[in-house]
Amino acid sequence: MDYLLQIKEATEFIRSQTDFQPDFGIVLGTGLGALVKDIEVAKEINYEEIPHFPLSTVESHSGKLIFGQLGGKAVVVMKGRFHYYEGYNMKEVTFPIRVLKLLGIKKLIISNASGALNPDYKKSELMVINDHINLQTENPLTGKNLNELGVRFPDMSEPYEQSMIDAAIRISKEENIPLHQGVYVGVNGPNLETKAEYNMLRIIGADAVGMSTVPENIVARQMDIPVFAVSVLTDLCYPGHIQKISVEEVIAAANKAEPYMTKLIKKVIAKDKD
């Protein structure tokens, strides 16, 4: 079936279930689902109910769209996201972002768990993403361009919204939230990197490494959606601090940072003027 038609059918189904009009879309990463507890929920829809929607195969990612109020603003939250390493192609990975656009979101907030490459960073701290390096081997815009969704060659000189980054930095100082800003590098996964690979990623200018976010950002920017993104640093990936790590340890580190993440996102949304 035509990709654009699939997006429209998914959107129409969601609209048949709720007339809620979200202004913000939020993508929740690994171990970061507790933000939902702060939402005044108006409607929940399981991914499996939505036509053409992918289903998450990662244990720590539940799969549902949650509509409600957060920080006094109307939001739709993706509790559970999709990754290239799950076997989906990049059009499938980013399919929900296309749907959120058609639902009417004006801004997108992305969270993720990532490894710290910058030696100034500590475990369970947060990093606002101010730029990224894309090392993923498939681009979500490859193939015939859908002009209805965006231009063929989207500009990426400001992939992350500077006004929201500035707001986050101010909020972090006011609320004593440990927050850095830096460059995120997106890789395929699912294996973690070797010591030599961590070293290479640091040399090319990355402060944190992860397996998501970049394709979602590319698609959002093609559709002219401003993006704010923040990483929870779940493990240390610089010389002298690299240790074997399990998914359970990643989730535990993310859970420790979750109150800070929740407070930051909630206040960034509440103070947004647009």
Q: pLDDT 10s digit of each residue in the chain, 274 long?
A: 699 999 999 999 999 999 999 999 999 987 677 888 899 999 999 999 999 999 876 665 568 999 999 999 999 999 989 999 999 999 999 999 999 999 999 999 999 999 999 999 999 999 999 999 999 999 999 999 989 999 999 999 999 999 999 999 999 999 999 999 999 999 999 999 999 999 999 999 999 999 999 999 999 999 999 999 999 999 999 999 998 988 888 889 888 999 999 999 999 999 987 6
Cα→Cα distances 94→73, 167, 229, Å? 24, 27, 16
Into how many domains does the chain fold? 1
Alpha helices in the chain (DSSP H): 3-17, 90-93, 95-103, 162-175, 195-203, 214-222, 247-270
Q: What is the CATH number of the domain that holds 135?
A: 3.40.50.1580
Q: Which domain does 97 fall in, by range?
A: 3-270
Distance CA 157, CA 149 (A): 19
